[in-house]
A = this chain, B = another copy of it.
Amino acid sequence: MNEANPTAAMLVIGDEILSGRTRDANMHHLAGVLADHGIDLIEARIVPDSTDNIVASIRAMRDRCDHLFTSGGIGPTHDDITADAVAQAFDVGISLREDARAIIAARCKEHGLELNAARLRMARIPDGASLIANPVSGAPGFSIGNTHVMAGVPKIFRAMLEGLLTRIPGGRPLAKRVIEVCSPEGELAAEISRIAETYPQLQIGSYPFRNADRFGVSIVLRGTEAAHVQSAEAELREVFADCLVTAEGEA
């Protein structure tokens, strides 16, 4: 983690994730995109489609980070309660907004669809929010305070995030390296600990892997200063010279 970088948290809203029906894809996508953008993701939570849970989570999380991203619950059906819950969390009203209505109306016209009550529901936006464009299916997300509310459908979430991030100042992406060592983790731990103590400014993680033809440990180095990362990497490569899997690696 880079102390100077902006921080973020994510709130995934969805009964379907907690029931095991769907495997969430948005958090992993967000994590990768934020890392490239120099924003540190410091926590993620997954909560059910329940107003009380959403309100309490937003209130608890938004003050601990520079940006809170949410996914899920902003569609046209009865179980889409996120916009109302966000308004409640920020103690503001919510109403049908003209610019959001115009976007949805244009989309309906283009596709020969009826602008019915369910679709108009997606134009209800908390007071004071700004819209997040949805180039996939029209109905917008929105930002209020430091909270960015996006759709759960992965294709739409990704498209909204891409546009949103052009407006959010990033930080300095961490320098990252990964070294794969072909030895059990219990053999390597003492040396990895020693090097972690030598470089307290780096995050050094070790992750066992096993696949069809080999097993071992991925050692991941992250830090603000590329020189520190390179230097720690060189020490690890020297210490584990006789059991390195790869010559070069990007985390």
Contacts and interface: CB of A to CB of B under 8 A. Distances in A.
Contacts of A119: 186
Contact of A189 (B20, B33, B118): B118
Residue among A15, A43, A205, A251 facing the most chain B CB atoms (10 A cut-off): A205
Copies of the polypeptide in the assembly: 2
A85 interface: no
B41 A18 contact: yes
A206 B77 contact: yes
A190 interface: yes
Given A19-B35, A205-B49, A77 B28 contact: no
Interface residues of A, number: 65
A193 interface: yes
Contacts of A212: none
Contacts of A122: 186
A186 B116 contact: yes
A190 B117 contact: yes
- Report whether over half of chain A's contact residues are helix, strand or loop; otherwise say mixed: mixed
Contact of A43 (B16, B45, B77, B184): B45
A156 to B, nearest CB: 9
A205 B44 contact: no
Nearest to A47: B43
Nearest to A152: B207
Interface in A1-38: 1, 15-24, 27-28, 30-35
A147 B44 CA distance: 20
Contacts of A216: none
A31 B79 CA distance: 20
Interface string A183-209: 011111110110011000001111110
Nearest to A12: B44
A220 interface: yes
A187 B116 CA distance: 8
A12 to B, nearest CB: 8
16 contacts: A17-B31, A18-B43, A18-B44, A20-B31, A42-B48, A43-B46, A43-B47, A45-B45, A75-B185, A75-B206, A77-B206, A79-B204, A116-B186, A118-B188, A118-B190, A153-B208
Sorted nearest first, the 6 A-B pairs with minimum C-beta distance are A118-B189, A20-B32, A20-B31, A78-B193, A23-B28, A44-B46
